[in-house]
A and B are shown apart, each in its own frame.
Chain A
Amino acid sequence: DGGITQSPKYLFRKEGQNVTLSCEQNLNHDAMYWYRQDPGQGLRLIYYSQIVNDFQKGDIAEGYSVSREKKESFPLTVTSAQKNPTAFYLCASSIVSGASTEAFFGQGTRLTVV
């Protein structure tokens, strides 16, 4: 089945540690996105990538980093510089990067700092 796979579903991190969230898609989509979701704030864009080896900062990129070495993969690293990393993280992809293209979402990763 085609889709977007995020792993792990739940992740616990100690303060001061970096942690990487995985996102893989087999939809052959060019564009991929990372969103952060907090209660009452909707989804906020962290980073997005139009094509391989290219990515752009979203609205809340500070404390995060990404790479796009393969079309299928867009991992997100939450660094120790992110002061409040506890949140639900959603990865998405779309056929192309455009205003009218529908985004398909993964099931999310819930990150908790302990």
Chain B
Amino acid sequence: AQSVTQPDIHITVSEGASLELRCNYSYGATPYLFWYVQSPGQGLQLLLKYFSGDTLVQGIKGFEAEFKRSQSSFNLRKPSVHWSDAAEYFCAVGLMIYNQGGKLIFGQGTELSVKP
């Protein structure tokens, strides 16, 4: 069955430090991959997405992610974290189900805390 795994439930980084959030997926074909961010009590906002082509994709707020087929990974990175980046981050895979349409499968989420 298709699945998305985010191994880290909670990560704490210092402001100005680099960040990498891990995401692994289980899917037979080339997946459609997304990263979303959620502030407390709010909805989700799309950071970036990968469909095909260049495996390094750029997103909003200075985030980027790299698709590695050999490792079934789509890790999110940011060179220098700001206090406003504290939030929960979700990795997702887009699936197409025959005769039922498309849907997103989400990982469990990684909560990011930023130390001053």
Whether A and B are associated in the same complex: the answer reads: yes
Interface range on chain B: under 10, 10 to 19, 20 to 34, or 35 or more? 20 to 34
Interface range on chain A: under 10, 10 to 19, 20 to 34, or 35 or more? 20 to 34
**Chain A residues closer than 8 Å to B43, beta-carbon distance:** 4, 90, 92, 105-108
Contact residues of B: prevailing secondary structure: strand
Instruction: Decide if A102 is an interface residue (CB 8 Å cutoff).
Output: yes
Given contacts A102-B46, A105-B43, A106-B43, contact A42 B106 (CB under 8 A): yes
Q: Which of B9, B41, B51 counts the most A-chain CB atoms under 10 A from its CB? A: B41
- B-contacting residues of A (Cβ < 8 Å)? 4, 31, 33, 35, 40-45, 48, 50, 56, 58, 90, 92, 94, 96-108, 110
Please name 14 pairs of A and B residues whose Cβ atoms are closer than 8 Å in the assembled complex, sorted by A. Answer: A4-B43, A31-B102, A41-B108, A42-B6, A42-B90, A42-B106, A42-B109, A43-B106, A44-B106, A48-B101, A97-B101, A99-B102, A103-B104, A110-B41
